[in-house]
Amino acid sequence: MSGRAVWWRRAFGSVRVRVTLLAAGAFAVTLIVASTLLLRSLEDRLVSDIRSADVAALRAQAMEFAQTGIPQDDIVVTASGESVIRGHLVGGQEFAMVDTGAVPTQYEPAAVDHAEPADASDFTGVSRGVYFDFAMPADRVVYTALPIGGAVFTTASPLDEVRDTINTTTRLLWVIGPALVALVAGLSWVLASRALRPVRILTARVADIESHSLHERVPEPPSSDEIAQLARTMNQMLGRLDTANETSRRLVSDASHELRTPVAVMRTELEVAQRVADNDWAATGGVLLGELDRLQGLVDDLLLLARGDERALATEEVDVIEIVHDVAARRRRVDVDVVQDADSLMIVGDRQALVRALDHLADNAARSADGRVSVSIVVSDGDIAIHVDDDGPGIAQADRDAATRRFVRLDEGRARDEGGAGLGLAVASDVAAAHGGHLVITDSPIGGARVTITLPTPTAG
């Protein structure tokens, strides 16, 4: 692409240039239309003034004939039988009185007063100018007719002064018009520059914000216009990015810490086994398998959280009842009872994610329960509520919001000893949100905590 093409594209890519050209072009078109209407209106008004003056002069001539009589000696009978009197009005222009019959010797003043001007084109001789001594093009003469009785008083006035006035006005508009368009273009450029100045400030400020400075914000104008709304929206976006960035950093840090623990345990077991000649490899293998299970569970949870953050969960028809029974059938310290209202409840979702979420809830309930864990499924108002209850100590009201955060343990020592990494409730909450539902922690009717996952049915959407 040539340099000129790049410059042209860059120039017309500017909002200021487009706004300026649009404003100047719109004003130019409006000015042309207004100038055309002005010239036509001016021409019509000048011609109308000439006609009015001619009508007044013809009335004066007719009144003179009414008072002094018609000079019979000036009457000329044409070849067509018309009687014509030619002369000059007070203003100097020619006039003619034409009568197809006998010309009376005198007109009554009342007839002159009530005479109304007529269209000259209705009278062939007048419209062709055959009664006048000069020959001028029809577009340069205005003919006026005043019928009185059987006669027609006519006159012809040249439009030279009208044409001169129109030409002068046109030349003046050609001088003033471009100047006005240039003035509008300049004002549009200045106003567009002032209007876009906050945008340039926002752009420069956002360009300076890096991944390590997401806590910074762009300046918000005190107004309530679109620029202020844009600044507030950008600050809200920066806030979400900052929160997501902090969450990611914390997740990486916590995940690194949690992953380090089983790796360190396995390394220690292997080092001890190497130094002991008669090591019990069966016991060592059991410890290693336990830590590997813990490590695999942690990795699966992290992958599930990542898929949920990216909204990459599968969408297929799954049976909630079947999932609950599969989870409840797994061996735990406390058996899980299932209470259901229906034999099948189909939803659209990710079966693997739902199984993982409910498995976490059942494991947490079994670890905390004194001797009873129950899972009940209730359908109400188009939503499916899955309640996981235990008869343990429960979760305090003040800790319920924190319990669903990632890597948060309400009982740090017990959770690590029993294999918990603080991700169970976080995974369940994220899976519920990814399916359009939510997770709520309340008090259980059997004495401990109740964790409820609410999922919408396909028809409830």
pLDDT in tens, 94-138: 888 887 555 555 667 777 877 888 888 888 777 777 777 766 676
User: In the predicted model, is pLDDT for residue 243 greater than 60?
Assistant: yes
Structure tokens at 404: 């669903």
**Residue 63, pLDDT score:** 85
Share of the chain above pLDDT 70, in %: 84
**Residue 231, pLDDT score:** 86
**Residue 316, pLDDT score:** 85
User: In the predicted model, is pLDDT for residue 56 greater than 70?
Assistant: yes
User: In the predicted model, is pLDDT for residue 416 greater than 50?
Assistant: no
- 41 burial level (CB within 10 Å; 0-12, 13-18, 19+): exposed
CA distances from 193 to 11, 95, 186, 198, 293 (A): 14, 65, 11, 9, 64
Tell me the per-residue pLDDT of 107-117, one tens digit each, with 9 for 90 and over.
Answer: 677 778 778 88
> Regarding predicted confidence, which is higher, 298 or 411?
298
Instruction: Name the band, by pLDDT with cuts 50, 70 and 90, for residue 43.
Output: very high
Share of the chain above pLDDT 90, in %: 21
**Residue 286, pLDDT score:** 80
> Regarding predicted confidence, which is higher, 386 or 122?
386
Distance of CA 49 to the CA centre of its chain: 54
CA distances from 103 to 106, 187, 352 (A): 9, 69, 117
Instruction: Name the band, by pLDDT with cuts 50, 70 and 90, for residue 386.
Output: very high
**Residue 222, pLDDT score:** 80
**Residue 442, pLDDT score:** 92
- What is the mean predicted confidence (pLDDT) over 271-280? 78
> Regarding predicted confidence, which is higher, 297 or 145?
145
CA-derived radius of gyration, the chain: 50
Structure tokens at 358: 């409910």
CA dihedral 311, 315, 319, 324 (to 10 degrees): -20
* Single pTM value for the model: 0.53
Contacts 24+ apart (CB under 8 A), 117-121: 117/51, 117/55, 117/144, 117/145, 117/146, 118/145, 118/146, 118/147, 118/152, 119/145, 120/144, 120/145, 120/154
Distance of CA 38 to the CA centre of its chain: 39
> Regarding predicted confidence, which is higher, 129 or 418?
129
Backbone angles phi, psi at 6, to 5 degrees: -65, -45
**Residue 255, pLDDT score:** 67
CA dihedral 246, 247, 252, 256 (to 10 degrees): 110
Q: How far, in Å, CA of 169 to CA of 163, rounded? A: 10
> Regarding predicted confidence, which is higher, 442 or 127?
442
